[in-house]
Every structure is written in structure tokens, then in C-alpha cells.
């Protein structure tokens, strides 16, 4: 007796068979946000028992120090009241819970904060409501739904990696775009489509094929259309055949949206993710399930898909929108500068039985071989604000 094929896989194969290959961004978005069978719509599994673990799940120290950074930034803003305290992609609510616990040190901060969580997953919204029970919270599906008549303090941990990227492959005949089609065995397979002159919007429509789910279509439409043609970055022209470049209009669009808002309303945004601090080639599309990597095409909708954050593009887009965007800082350096080592020592002194655990958590968050170097911290802000640790690099 054969196992029944997962529903999303079957629908994707049927669409491709009828209408042709789809772009990597559409495949990525369908896998994560299809309302019937997408990963975040139905089965996001965070933590040690789930598919992946993020920094807030490693240790409370991470969220507490983010809270301290937010409070100091608010103070440098002149302590506006009210202000919008926003988290985008808040997971199960652990980070914001830790931020608010640290913020008890400054009651005026809590009194002035109008808390918003930007979340599209109904499953994660339910988890956030449980984690933040008793806290006054508003939810939005997009940042634009958060009222814009007050300064903004925003944090997003591992959000950029959830925004899709186009992939380009250098061939002997030039560049081609990577797409998802069907192999000779009828299963999903990567293929190449020659680049053509039409604008990216037209190319995306051609790559999109048949009907797209309402939720996935809504997410794609919410991103401002890029103006450039579907070509790889110009710095890649000297790369050898076989090289892969990634370009994420979705990540750049978020940088632009944040930049415009911060330049207009004031405030700062902290973006934390794993990714590139400088342009470089490489295929970073990956799938994670039960903390193990698997092929991105193996189980659509059953595993988490990510790409590396393209910090150079995000920062450049924010600057063009009028915000200050200094160079990124490694997560390890950022947390050490905020005092994570002293915090770990204080926690160990209070609970000697947890000293070894705290040491492992500290290494996981800051160690060069762990999250310390791969993960980076970007700060976007209103011009002239000078948030902590980003004062002299505008």
C-alpha cells in the first residue's frame, strides 16, 4: 500500500505540468504560506523538539539584552509617548516576552509602548497569545497595518531569511534563472530559464504559471515590484560557469519600507539574521526539518525553507529611502557589548546548578563557530538618532 502524496506537492506538480516551471520565489512562498498546506500556515515547529531553534529559544539572555537596547534607544529618542513597539516575525512570542520582562526596569518605557506583533501564521499567533497572556497586544498581517502616527521601535529576529530570493546560474552561454519544474520521473526538479528582456514583473508572471493560492498571492502582491530586470547583480560578471547568485527584491523592499517609515516617523529597527555582510556568490536555499537539512524540493510545506539575509541590499534600500543604515555588527560582538557575559555570570551565581548550561548557551549565542559570526545585527534608524553600538558608523 503506497503512502498518499502530500497535498501541496500534488498541487504544485499539477500546476507545473499544466503551465510550466515556476520561479524559486513563488515555490518558496507557496511552501511557507499556502493557507491549506503551507509550513507557517499549519505546522511551524520551533524549539528543541521542533524543526529549528532561534536565539530567543537558546537563552532568556538574548531577549533581555534586546530589551535593554530598545530602552536605551527610546531614551535617546527623547522618550516619546506613545511609540510603536513592533516585532515582525515574532515566532512563539518568547523574544517579546523576554523584552517586556527586562523592560520592567523602566516602567515609563512600558507605559509609553503601544505593542504590535506582525504575524501571518494563525498557528503562531495562537502561540503568541498564550506566551503574552495578560499583555495588551495588537496583531497585524503587514507592517503597513501598524498605525504610522508615532515613532517606531522595531525588532525582527530571523525574518529576512523567510523572504524569498531569485537565483541566477552562470552558464557557458551567460546567465539563466533557476526555476522549479518537473524531471523526467515526474518529480520536482530544478531547471534553468534563459533570461529575457521583459521587466521583472512580466517575467514573474510568466514564471508563476497557473493559479496561486490567495494567501501566497497576497504576500507576493504586498511587496513593492522591483524596477530592475531579472538579471543578477553586475559584480558577478567575472564568475565562472556554474556560479550561483541570489537577489531578493522582497528583502530589499522591506529595507525600503522600513527606511521610509523611520525617516518619516522617527525611531529605529533592529534586524538580526544569518547572512552576508558583503556581496558574494553561493546557493543558500535550504530546508530544515527536525533540526536536519534536507533537499529544498523534498517535502514542500513539510519543512521550513530559508535563504541567507542579503544585508547589503537591505541597508542600501533603507539608505535610499532616507534612513541611516550603518554597517552590520556580528551577533557575538553585539551581545558582548551589551553585557551578555556579565549577565551570564550573574545568572550562574544565582543558580550554580545551571552554570554549565549557561556557559553552553553563551557559547551558542556568541561563539565564532556557533551563532556569533554567521548571525549579524543591522540597525536602521532616523537620521541623527545614533542608537547604541551604531553611533559612529552612519
Strands 152-157 and 267-276: parallel
Cell 530602552 sits on residue: 71
15-36 tens-digit pLDDT = 999 999 999 999 999 999 888 8
Task: Say whether pLDDT at 135 is over 80.
Answer: yes
Task: Return the H-helix or E-strand segment holding 379.
Answer: strand 375-381
Task: Say whether pLDDT at 223 is over 50.
Answer: no
> Could you tell me if 233 and 252 are in contact, meaning their C-beta atoms sit under 8 angstroms apart?
no
Using pLDDT thresholds of 50, 70 and 90, give the confidence band for residue 173: confident
| pLDDT for res 36 | 87
| pLDDT for res 226 | 38
Using pLDDT thresholds of 50, 70 and 90, give the confidence band for residue 237: confident
User: In this predicted structure, which of 51-60, 142-151, 204-213, 350-359 has the lowest mean pLDDT?
Assistant: 204-213
Which has the higher per-residue pLDDT, 48 or 300? 300
User: In this predicted structure, which of 149-158, 183-192, 283-292 has the lowest mean pLDDT?
Assistant: 283-292
301-323 tens-digit pLDDT = 888 899 999 999 999 999 999 99
Q: What is the DSSP letter of 108?
A: H
| pLDDT for res 45 | 59
* pTM score, whole prediction: 0.86
User: In this predicted structure, which of 87-91, 145-149, 286-290, 364-368 has the lowest mean pLDDT?
Assistant: 286-290
Average pLDDT on 92-114 reads 97
Average pLDDT on 80-85 reads 98
- Structural domains of the chain ordered from first start: 7-37+166-247 (no CATH), 56-163+252-281+308-381 (3.40.50.150)
Task: Select from 276, 269, 284, 281 the least CA-distant residue to 312.
Answer: 276
Using pLDDT thresholds of 50, 70 and 90, give the confidence band for residue 177: very high
CB neighbours (10 Å) of residue 157? 25
Amino acid at each position: 500500500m503506497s503512502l498518499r502524496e502530500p497535498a501541496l506537492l500534488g498541487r504544485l506538480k499539477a500546476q507545473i505540468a499544466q503551465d510550466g516551471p515556476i520561479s524559486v520565489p513563488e515555490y518558496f512562498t507557496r511552501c511557507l504560506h499556502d493557507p491549506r498546506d503551507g509550513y507557517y500556515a499549519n505546522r511551524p515547529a520551533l524549539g528543541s523538539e521542533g524543526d529549528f531553534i532561534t536565539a530567543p529559544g537558546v537563552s532568556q539572555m538574548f531577549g533581555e539584552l534586546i530589551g535593554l537596547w530598545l530602552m536605551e534607544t527610546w531614551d535617546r529618542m527623547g522618550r516619546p509617548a506613545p511609540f510603536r513597539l513592533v516585532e515582525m516575525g515574532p515566532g512563539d512570542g518568547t523574544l517579546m516576552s523576554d523584552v517586556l520582562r527586562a523592560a520592567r526596569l523602566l516602567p515609563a518605557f512600558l507605559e509609553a509602548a503601544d505593542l504590535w506583533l506582525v504575524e501571518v501564521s494563525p498557528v503562531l499567533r495562537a502561540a503568541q497569545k498564550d506566551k503574552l497572556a495578560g499583555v495588551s497586544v495588537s496583531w497585524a498581517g503587514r507592517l503597513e497595518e501598524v498605525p504610522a502616527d508615532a515613532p517606531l521601535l522595531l525588532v525582527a529576529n530571523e525574518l529576512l531569511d523567510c523572504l524569498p530570493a531569485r537565483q541566477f546560474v552562470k552558464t557557458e552561454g551567460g546567465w539563466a534563472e533557476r526555476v522549479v519544474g518537473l524531471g523526467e520521473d515526474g518529480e520536482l526538479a530544478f531547471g534553468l530559464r534563459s533570461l529575457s528582456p521583459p521587466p521583472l514583473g512580466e517575467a514573474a508572471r510568466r514564471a508563476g504559471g497557473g493559479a496561486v493560492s490567495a494567501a501566497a498571492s497576497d504576500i507576493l502582491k504586498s511587496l513593492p515590484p522591483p524596477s530592475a530586470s531579472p538579471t543578477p547583480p553586475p559584480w558577478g560578471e567575472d564568475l565562472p560557469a556554474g556560479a550561483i547568485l541570489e537577489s531578493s527584491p522582497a528583502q530589499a523592499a522591506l529595507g525600503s519600507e522600513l527606511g521610509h517609515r523611520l525617516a518619516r516617523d522617527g525611531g529605529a529597527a533592529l534586524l538580526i539574521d544569518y547572512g552576508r555582510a558583503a556581496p558574494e556568490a553561493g546557493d543558500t536555499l535550504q530546508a530544515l526539518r527536525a533540526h536536519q537539512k534536507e533537499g529544498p524540493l523534498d517535502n514542500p510545506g513539510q519543512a521550513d525553507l530559508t535563504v541567507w539575509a542579503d544585508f547589503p541590499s537591505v541597508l542600501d534600500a533603507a539608505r535610499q529611502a532616507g534612513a541611516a543604515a550603518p554597517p552590520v555588527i556580528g551577533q557575538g560582538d553585539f551581545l558582548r557589548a551589551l553585557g551578555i557575559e556579565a549577565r551570564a555570570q550573574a545568572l550562574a551565581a544565582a543558580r550554580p546548578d545551571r552554570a554549565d548550561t549557561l556557559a553552553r548557551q553563551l557559547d551558542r549565542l556568541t561563539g565564532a563557530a556557533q551563532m556569533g559570526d554567521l548571525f549579524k545585527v543591522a540597525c536602521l534608524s532616523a537620521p541623527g538618532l545614533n542608537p547604541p553600538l551604531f553611533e559612529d558608523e552612519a
